[in-house]
């Protein structure tokens, strides 16, 4: 019988004692959370680059908060899907495991993943621009245009996420790279692979001779770089990589 890419990926995963996973917005798409790029990724007439920058927040904090509150409401109502759950199972069966996610939705943790690092922050956290405090922040019941969220110190709060042009948390990045360079297999799922530094992970893994597997709805710039590239929905494919 012909060996499929799913068979090849499954063999690599079953034999590996150490597994690294990188996820992006595509893994939460089947939970009903919009991705950033592509036709579903647009919000009103704005793109991610219009909203996810420090300049956008400086120029129009009300608009940026409106976008984040809109997304918080969608995420609050969403549930982890079979792709998140498959990653929980993967962690249970691997001797060493690390999940690095670019997602700010917290769905991996809600699904039950334990060793997970959030590279771009968390949408349910806010940070004070004045005193630097971080706190849990939920969307208000109604959006009052003049009411920007404020810290107890009076400072303006911003979403505790990483915007374009900002430095990603160095401790998280170093922990992820240390694990990655010693792992046996790296799975890259649901990311377009255009945002740095996460986009460098497939290349680093390949350079280190680590077996690489991509799972994505469509071919990406990563597809030609990995050992096995599988196209389809993560919620259908990831569970198949665990079972015979």
Please tell me whether residue 196 binds ligand BJW under the rule CB under 6 A. yes
CA gap 116, 238 in Å, rounded: 17
CA gap 202, 180 in Å, rounded: 10
Please tell me whether residue 170 binds ligand BJW under the rule CB under 6 A. no
Q: Does the N-terminal peptide bond of residue 197 adopt cis geometry, omega within 30 degrees of 0?
A: yes
Q: Does 69 qualify as catalytic in the annotation? A: no
Contacted by 30, from Zn ion, ligand BJW, none: CB < 5 to 8 Å by type = ligand BJW
Q: In angstroms, what is the minimal distance from the CB of 17 to ligand BJW? A: 26
CA gap 8, 214 in Å, rounded: 12
Task: Tell me which of 84, 108, 120, 137 is the catalytic residue.
Answer: 120
Among 10, 108, 158, 233, interactor with ligand BJW by CB under 6 A: 233
End-to-end CA distance of the chain: 14
Q: In angstroms, what is the minimal distance from the CB of 87 to ligand BJW? A: 13
The residue among 131 and 194 lying less far from Zn ion, judged by its C-beta, is: 131
**Binding to ligand BJW in span 204-223, by CB under 6 A:** 216-218, 220
Among 36, 57, 124, 179, interactor with ligand BJW by CB under 6 A: 36
| HEC profile of the chain | CCCCHHHHHHHHHHHCCEEEEEECCHHHHCCCCCCCCCHHHCECCECHHHHCCHHHHHHCHHHHHHHHHHHHHHHHHCCCCHHHHHHHHHHHHCCEEEEEECCCCCHHHHHCCCCEEECCEEEEEEEECCCCCEEECCCCCCCCCCCCCECCCCCEEEEEECCCCCCCCHHHHHHHHHHHCCCCEEEEECCCCCCCCHHHHHHHHHHCCCEEEEEECCCCCCCCCCCEEEECCHHHHHHHCCCC
Among 114, 153, 174, 200, interactor with Zn ion by CB under 5 A: 153
Q: In angstroms, what is the minimal distance from the CB of 95 to ligand BJW? A: 27
Q: In angstroms, what is the minimal distance from the CB of 77 to ligand BJW? A: 17
Contacted by 151, from ligand BJW, Zn ion, none: CB < 5 to 8 Å by type = Zn ion
Place of tokens 């198949």: 240
**Binding to ligand BJW in span 119-138, by CB under 6 A:** 120
Place of tokens 């904090």: 61
Among 19, 26, 57, 180, interactor with ligand BJW by CB under 6 A: 26
Among 168, 172, 177, 204, interactor with ligand BJW by CB under 6 A: 168
Among 42, 131, 138, 148, interactor with Zn ion by CB under 5 A: 131
- Catalytically active residues are 120
Q: Using CB under 6 A as the criterion, which residues of the chain lie in contact with ligand BJW when the complex forms?
A: 24-26, 29-30, 35-37, 41, 48, 52, 102, 104, 120, 161-168, 190-192, 194-197, 216-218, 220, 233-234
Q: Using CB under 5 A as the criterion, which residues of the chain lie in contact with Zn ion when the complex forms?
A: 128, 130-131, 133, 151, 153, 155
């Amino acid at each position: 019988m012909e060996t499929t890419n799913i068979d090849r990926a499954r063999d690599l995963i079953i034999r590996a004692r150490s597994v690294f996973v990188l996820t992006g917005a595509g893994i939460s798409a089947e939970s009903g959370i919009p991705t950033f790029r592509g036709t579903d990724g647009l919000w009103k007439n704005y793109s991610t680059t219009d909203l996810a920058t420090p300049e956008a927040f400086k120029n129009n904090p009300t608009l940026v908060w409106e976008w984040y509150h809109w997304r918080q409401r969608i995420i609050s109502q969403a549930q982890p899907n079979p792709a998140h759950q498959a990653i929980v199972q993967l962690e249970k069966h691997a001797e060493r495991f690390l999940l690095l996610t670019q997602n700010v939705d917290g769905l991996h943790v809600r699904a039950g993943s334990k060793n997970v690092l959030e590279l771009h922050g968390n949408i349910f956290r806010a940070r004070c621009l004045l005193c630097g405090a971080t706190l849990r922040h939920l969307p208000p019941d109604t959006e009052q245009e003049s009411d920007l969220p404020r810290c107890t110190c009076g400072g303006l709060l911003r979403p505790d996420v990483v915007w374009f042009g900002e430095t990603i948390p160095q401790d998280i990045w170093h922990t992820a790279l240390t694990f990655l360079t010693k792992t046996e297999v790296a799975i890259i799922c649901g990311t377009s692979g255009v945002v740095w530094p996460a986009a460098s992970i497939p290349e680093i893994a390949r350079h280190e001779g680590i077996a690489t597997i991509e799972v994505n709805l469509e071919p990406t710039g990563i597809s030609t770089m990995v050992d096995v590239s599988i196209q389809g929905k993560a919620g259908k494919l990831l569970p198949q990589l665990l079972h015979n």
